[in-house]
Amino acid sequence: GDSVTQMEGPVTLSEEAFLTINCTYTATGYPSLFWYVQYPGEGLQLLLKATKADDKGSNKGFEATYRKETTSFHLEKGSVQVSDSAVYFCALKGAQKLVFGQGTRLTINP
């Protein structure tokens, strides 16, 4: 079945550092790919998405490119802020339901 694998956390960075959170997937067909973010004590919010190969999703300085050849959708940000501290979930939507990765906790220190 469909599955998503994220890099294990937690990840701790200093403010203004470069961020990469790796995400790879296994799916039949051509899924849509998502990054969701969960701030402390809240539900999840959609951060960005890509619906076909080579699409780049972007929002709030975050980017991810749908790479079909490597089945990846890595999340990047050039300069993180303390307010980016959260749990990040990679997800895919195949023929039926949405499948989530296990989440990566990110902490940014000032």
Residues found near other proteins in the complex (CB under 8 A): 32, 34, 36, 41-46, 49, 51, 89, 93, 96-98, 100-103
Q: What contacts 86, CB < 8 A, 6 or more positions away?
A: 37, 38, 39, 40, 105, 106
Q: Closer to other proteins at the Cβ: 32 or 72?
A: 32
DSSP helix/strand/coil, 83: helix
Q: Closer to other proteins at the Cβ: 14 or 38?
A: 38
CB of 50 to other proteins, least distance (A): 10
Q: Closer to other proteins at the Cβ: 41 or 110?
A: 41
Cβ atoms within 10 Å, residue 52: 11
